[in-house]
Structure 1
């Protein structure tokens, strides 16, 4: 058993002393900023942000084409006096001016403004007196460890370090080579919105099935804070970057993906040559009806700077991706693979040995400025709750399955409370129908069902131990067809989709048989979303969920099997388990923490559901969801908060209530569409900055008011409040790391108050995963014998007052068992097929015990004689809540898992001002 885990995180080494780097800094300058702002305002008169220049494409172009540029400053487009470029040495005007001129020309040429062309000429002019004056480069000593410590004790880096430091780290590492197993890897820098990446280039090759597949090592570099930590951290995570060379789809099905362009600089001299890959986005443009560069891609501007070389056009790159990844005339381009493109013979992920080797290489390259954070050690031996045995060994064949079935029957009997369970199965393939009917009795330990009703009515029944289940199976027919969404682009997309949803709701109403006496669930077999990718919004899944919810039915979906589907039995099993979860037939595990946890403890979880206009129904919405779990409290032990009625309701009722929302559609320029611009006439519309800020502040105040009201509803017994900091801090800013205080809660602009004011026996635990921003570092277990691998448990530092812990789970039983030392970047003769393996690495869940009954909290509450809490016990309890039934360990504690999945039912549909609302039938 491993006793230690190592995280791939680094912090400024206090033994190194001051860490200052001499850099060259350039500001946009008042003259150029004023000129570009004027042009932008005139060319885009309907823009929502005339005060903010669209410099993202220019920044990408400069990073790739201007030698020596390290990073771009934030908000340079709002103020010409803010730092704009950071470089190792000054970029000559004869290099900088053409790049700015190419950007200006590309941005404004389509407006056919002669003054825009005049600016391009003046920027490119050889006569400085005729050019718009560029600012002069300034020398600046930049403190790369600049830190401010918050009032709560959290070290926060200076704002510019979030983008500057990852780029500096990436360039430092890219200057070195990585050698492993006789293979040498060279890295290039890829800038990203959240930091920087290192990508091994040229890609590795893997021969399989008579074809060549391409992949690279990829290191993500980001800067983060940790609650109450004395120093901020640099996270370096490792993964495999796969490249697409066979696109199994048509151009109009190509939604878009990243393309990295390897282009030589068109001018001689300068540092960092050949270290950059230029980031672009390629996708189908429905307006132009062709493939195009999208999302401010700089690729269209490069040919204007280098007329000698041949650069890939979107259609040519899509048609011949392998030709371009191998290079053509010193220019290469790689399409980043996505599963929607088709199959790939290289598997994702790296195993622990290879990750530890890369991690050691990073550690060596960052000395002496950055040092690795200390390893984490176990804080408890009770890593899992009182679960059933993981195998039948020692208990006889089938003992484990029988015990699990007994648990499920008890949970079903509790939530059904004497009512029958009515299930409608709408199938498309006989194999799926048969698998569903076969798996249900296995899961609950019942014999095969009996057929009831007429011979032509495919209805089955199971009875026993206070449970009655009736399943009626019917062909799905037109219910599973694609939605016929109008292509009339003059009307808002959300309204057109709402009309199609209404049509599907009518079709469902005609097919359903009223069953008012039972708990209703529908299981429907539909095609995967990739089958509907060719026509936007045509996937019927969300429309069906809305339609069945209006009939008082919960819904669960199973995808059509493919020709090689060998996991149908497995998928049928999980379909039923997810249906049980929606019914609330699920209970938290019996913990093994100790007497420090109150016996009558209840769990509460908060989750903010957020959909933008790109969401499932094209309607923006934000909704706070609260779920309460009271172990052993009878039929209603899993409940949700109904804000409208101000009461707790059973979990399945909460799901149905959430599905009933109707959203008005804003007119052009209205603030109602505050999530972003709309379709058609509102493409450049939306709220003004002040209005948007006002809407955001109102949302925050309202959400915080709801949270305070909920805390009042939970005061009747000891409560553990669980929240995902990454999800909730947008509407509850007091959860940002820099705002946290031990044993205190902060709301709005008021000073933080002791948490016991919101409940004498309240504890608050925050969790956080890596998410898309790599906020939690990667990890691997290791020991003194240089062995590496996986380990599950709760981990912490040696500090007795620590509030931050790590939770790691085992790999799921569905993951293939692979050697921990499997090498994919340098496959050995014995492991030539290693690149084809999928390496599963369990993520680390960060657990912060924000508020508990510590000695100080008890003293502040006048309860000095009470036994204080041990934060490690509450972290252990949170970790054990990730285990339930025979699910793989959950990504989050069970109450938070239930709260997050309510988002499947938050599906607002657009209404119109004339029609009012499209309310569901009562």
Structure 2
């Protein structure tokens, strides 16, 4: 058993002191900013949105084509006095001017007019402005910059200066890219890719993998992001590793290309500079519905590069779409790679790296960051109570009940609790007879009945009875109910409205073809095609329409995909029923094994913010707070949710139905008033609801669980820099003691990587050089520590050797690149508030035994485990709150609003 884990995170080394760099800084300046903004407004005077100088494409072009530019400052397009460019040495104006002129010519050109002689004069004006213009480029200024400069929050969290979020990852990426990575007798060279959340390293040129008489391409990938950790005295640089796969054939038509990232490798056009740039230029390729062709989109600099370099040939969007394999290896001196996504078709290279290979890259990174940054200290075990009271995976032969039989008894008890004597009415809508047979065979096994035990009480209707539970299942062909939605092509109406019309049409079809349920406990299980099958026609997937239609009838719904050659029907049927039981609320956490420090009558509460933009499931934006309460004790054991309309806790099933019914009355969609902005208004309303919920939980000990990355969107005081131990803050009011909101309230925040690398990767290791995985709760050896790491066990399907090498396969493992390397993620657990000695003393409860933060972290970790599931990504109450978002399905109501470019 491993006793230590190592996180791939780095912090400033105190032995080195500040990381000071003398950087060159350029600001747009008030005059140049004003002149560019004036010209921008002249050419876009008819815009129906606030104008802001569009420097994003310019910044991308500068990073890719101007050697020496280290990073670009944020918000330079709004204020000419903010830093715009950073460099180690002044980049000559003779290099910057053509880049800025090329960008400006494209931005200030009206509609699709051709280049004019005036466009080419912009470069001369930038280099030598005339008396009637303010277009001259400003001079570079020397500025000392501490790349590790921080300010300490009131709660003891080190926070970096804002500009370091972009500047430090870029500096680290360029520093690492200057050194090759050697492994297995092979040398990999890295290029830098700038991202909105930090920087990436991508090995270039890509690796080749021969499979099925075809060649597939992939690269090593290293992501770098700057973050903070609650109550940590130093900032952290999180580094994660993986595989970047490249699409070499696209299994979709041009109009199905919603958007794919393209990295461009272009030589520099400047005669006196280096031949290649250490960066790859980021672009987006997608279908332009107005021009009805594949085109560069979203501030892509690719269309401007040929104007800077008229000698070489660059990829045309249509050509790149048709033959991506011909550009990945390069044509002449230019190469381009389409970043792979599953919607683009199959790929024979599997994602992920195994821990041995990750550890080697991590060691290379550690060496490259010395002496300015050091590795964060390893974490050790803080408890041996890794799991709650789960049934053993294997049961001795002489035991009276096998494990599956014991699980069935527990499911019976949970179903009996939520049904309370009512029959469960199930409608199965099938498209394949195999799925129908598998569903009917698996249901009795899950509740402890032998196969074939159901009684056929009518045509295609079966009944099962066990103890006080009655389940009636009617199975019938799905017919047209599960066919694709027919969305109007009338682009004079907004996309969300057209989709709402199609959804309402499907709801009407369901109402005409489905009898009202006879029981208040009603469920639909529907067999549906995978979402990729609807990709050819956007918004045609009927899943959300059907969920809404059945919810209006008082039925919850669970979907199962059509059979494929790679999935087990029995396995899929089992998970379908288990997820259906979960929606009924027939699930509860196993008894914990933390100890007597946890109150016997503890209840759990979890908060989740549903926040959909116009790209949400129904193309209609909404914000909705979901609250779930779990009472695990036997007498009152229940899964409940907060119904805001009724101001009451209701069974989980009723919560789901209320979310589908009440979301159109979202008070957070209204405009701000009284000088208060929309964001501030909905944050204030959300926090009012949270405080009201805390009041509803005061009658018994409560553990409040929240995902800080999710909830801080409406509760900004959950950001790391605002946290104070054992205090809660709302709005602009001073933070108050936790006990103000409940004498026996504890608050635990969890955080995962959530695509922004907010939590670092990890691997276990020991003194004998072994590298692998380990489950448990981890932290530093400090009794007052509040931040822990929770790692779960690997599932039984993850059986790859820990030392598998994919970047440079060995002769004995030539198929290694085709393997999927699954790694358990770390969940950061922060015990924000508990009853410490200080808290108890302030509350005049000195005789009460104080809490140990490690016990509450352990309890949160154990809530990830359940007999019916592999370890969950989040504690069960939070898992239930998040999944409730599936029923938040708002429909647009504005009937005749004009369409916009983004709508279409």
- Distance in 1 between residues matched to 2:857 and 2:621, nearest whole Å: 35
Deviations 1:542-591 (A, max 9, x none): 000000000100001011113x2442211111111000000000011110
* Structure 2 match to 1:680: none
Deviation at 1:124, TM superposition (A): 3.9
Going from structure 1 to structure 2, the CA distance change for 1:789 and 1:834 (only over 3 Å counts) comes to same
Q: Aligned runs of 1:690-701 on 2, under 5 Å?
A: 694-701=677-684
Deviation at 1:269, TM superposition (A): 3.6
Q: Aligned runs of 1:743-782 on 2, under 5 Å?
A: 743-782=726-765
Deviations 1:61-95 (A, max 9, x none): 00000000111001101111110000121111111
Deviation at 1:498, TM superposition (A): 1.1
Going from structure 1 to structure 2, the CA distance change for 1:566 and 1:17 (only over 3 Å counts) comes to closer
Matched, 1:624 2:625: yes
- Distance in 2 between residues matched to 1:641 and 1:197, nearest whole Å: 42
Going from structure 1 to structure 2, the CA distance change for 1:394 and 1:161 (only over 3 Å counts) comes to farther
Going from structure 1 to structure 2, the CA distance change for 1:491 and 1:148 (only over 3 Å counts) comes to same
Going from structure 1 to structure 2, the CA distance change for 1:245 and 1:32 (only over 3 Å counts) comes to same
> Among 545, 556, 561, which residue is 1:554 paired with?
556
Deviation at 1:176, TM superposition (A): 0.2
Deviation at 1:489, TM superposition (A): 0.8
**Residues 200 and 218 in structure 1, CA contact (< 8 A), matched pair in contact too:** yes
* Structure 1 match to 2:75: 75
**Residues 665 and 911 in structure 1, CA contact (< 8 A), matched pair in contact too:** no
- Distance in 2 between residues matched to 1:835 and 1:691, nearest whole Å: 59
Matched, 1:724 2:724: no
> Among 844, 856, 862, which residue is 2:844 paired with?
862
Deviation at 1:49, TM superposition (A): 6.0
**Residues 602 and 628 in structure 1, CA contact (< 8 A), matched pair in contact too:** yes
Instruction: State the secondary structure of the residue aligned to 2:350.
Output: coil
**Residues 16 and 371 in structure 2, CA contact (< 8 A), matched pair in contact too:** yes
- Distance in 1 between residues matched to 2:52 and 2:777, nearest whole Å: 46
Deviation at 1:110, TM superposition (A): 3.7
Instruction: State the secondary structure of the residue aligned to 1:404.
Output: helix
- Distance in 2 between residues matched to 1:465 and 1:380, nearest whole Å: 40
**Residues 296 and 303 in structure 2, CA contact (< 8 A), matched pair in contact too:** yes
* Structure 1 match to 2:607: 606
TM-score, with normalisation over the residues of structure 1? 0.94
* Structure 2 match to 1:263: 266
- Distance in 2 between residues matched to 1:202 and 1:288, nearest whole Å: 33
RMSD over equivalenced CA pairs, Å: 2.1
* Structure 2 match to 1:109: 109
> Among 508, 511, 517, which residue is 2:510 paired with?
508
Deviations 1:238-290 (A, max 9, x none): 01000000111111112211100000110034469431000001111112111
Deviation at 1:632, TM superposition (A): 2.5
- Distance in 2 between residues matched to 1:116 and 1:844, nearest whole Å: 56
Going from structure 1 to structure 2, the CA distance change for 1:127 and 1:433 (only over 3 Å counts) comes to closer
* Structure 1 match to 2:828: 846
Matched, 1:364 2:352: no
- Distance in 1 between residues matched to 2:857 and 2:116, nearest whole Å: 60
- Distance in 1 between residues matched to 2:30 and 2:499, nearest whole Å: 46
- Distance in 1 between residues matched to 2:398 and 2:334, nearest whole Å: 64
Q: Which runs of 5+ in 1 are unaligned?
A: 675-686, 916-922
Deviation at 1:391, TM superposition (A): 2.3
* Structure 2 match to 1:826: 808
Greater Cα offset, 264-273 or 738-747: 264-273
Going from structure 1 to structure 2, the CA distance change for 1:272 and 1:754 (only over 3 Å counts) comes to farther
Matched, 1:295 2:286: no
- Distance in 2 between residues matched to 1:320 and 1:475, nearest whole Å: 42
- Distance in 2 between residues matched to 1:697 and 1:198, nearest whole Å: 38
Matched, 1:428 2:411: no
**Residues 599 and 701 in structure 2, CA contact (< 8 A), matched pair in contact too:** yes
Deviation at 1:17, TM superposition (A): 1.6
Greater Cα offset, 268-277 or 203-212: 268-277
* Structure 1 match to 2:535: 533
Going from structure 1 to structure 2, the CA distance change for 1:277 and 1:318 (only over 3 Å counts) comes to same
* Structure 2 match to 1:344: 347
Deviation at 1:23, TM superposition (A): 1.1
Instruction: State the secondary structure of the residue aligned to 1:826.
Output: coil
Deviations 1:394-453 (A, max 9, x none): 666971111111111111111111111110000001111111111111111112243424
* Structure 2 match to 1:471: 473
Going from structure 1 to structure 2, the CA distance change for 1:407 and 1:155 (only over 3 Å counts) comes to same
- Distance in 1 between residues matched to 2:119 and 2:293, nearest whole Å: 30
- Distance in 2 between residues matched to 1:226 and 1:788, nearest whole Å: 25
- Distance in 2 between residues matched to 1:270 and 1:786, nearest whole Å: 45
Instruction: State the secondary structure of the residue aligned to 1:660.
Output: helix
- Distance in 2 between residues matched to 1:274 and 1:348, nearest whole Å: 27
> Among 865, 872, 889, which residue is 2:871 paired with?
889
- Distance in 2 between residues matched to 1:346 and 1:577, nearest whole Å: 32
- Distance in 2 between residues matched to 1:636 and 1:177, nearest whole Å: 58
Greater Cα offset, 517-526 or 147-156: 517-526
* Structure 1 match to 2:190: 187
* Structure 1 match to 2:901: none
Deviation at 1:460, TM superposition (A): 1.1
* Structure 1 match to 2:770: 787
Deviation at 1:661, TM superposition (A): 3.4
* Structure 2 match to 1:637: 638
- Distance in 1 between residues matched to 2:116 and 2:877, nearest whole Å: 57
- Distance in 1 between residues matched to 2:492 and 2:881, nearest whole Å: 37
**Residues 37 and 50 in structure 1, CA contact (< 8 A), matched pair in contact too:** no
Q: Aligned runs of 1:381-780 on 2, under 5 Å?
A: 381-392=384-395, 399-447=402-450, 448-454=452-458, 457-562=459-564, 564-632=565-633, 634=635, 637-661=638-662, 663=664, 694-780=677-763
Q: Aligned runs of 1:296-311 on 2, under 5 Å?
A: 296-311=299-314
**Residues 109 and 116 in structure 1, CA contact (< 8 A), matched pair in contact too:** no
Greater Cα offset, 39-48 or 353-362: 39-48
Deviation at 1:466, TM superposition (A): 0.9
Greater Cα offset, 306-315 or 105-114: 105-114
**Residues 728 and 735 in structure 1, CA contact (< 8 A), matched pair in contact too:** yes
Deviation at 1:168, TM superposition (A): 0.2
Instruction: State the secondary structure of the residue aligned to 1:910.
Output: coil
Instruction: State the secondary structure of the residue aligned to 2:677.
Output: helix
Instruction: State the secondary structure of the residue aligned to 1:625.
Output: strand
- Distance in 1 between residues matched to 2:250 and 2:453, nearest whole Å: 46
- Distance in 2 between residues matched to 1:46 and 1:622, nearest whole Å: 31
Deviations 1:670-716 (A, max 9, x none): x9588xxxxxxxxxxxx9xx999700000111011001000000000
- Distance in 2 between residues matched to 1:604 and 1:825, nearest whole Å: 44
**Residues 392 and 400 in structure 1, CA contact (< 8 A), matched pair in contact too:** yes
Going from structure 1 to structure 2, the CA distance change for 1:711 and 1:299 (only over 3 Å counts) comes to same
* Structure 1 match to 2:326: 323
Deviation at 1:42, TM superposition (A): 2.4
Going from structure 1 to structure 2, the CA distance change for 1:397 and 1:368 (only over 3 Å counts) comes to farther
Instruction: State the secondary structure of the residue aligned to 2:91.
Output: coil
- Distance in 2 between residues matched to 1:28 and 1:199, nearest whole Å: 31
Greater Cα offset, 267-276 or 588-597: 267-276
Q: Aligned runs of 1:27-42 on 2, under 5 Å?
A: 27-42=27-42
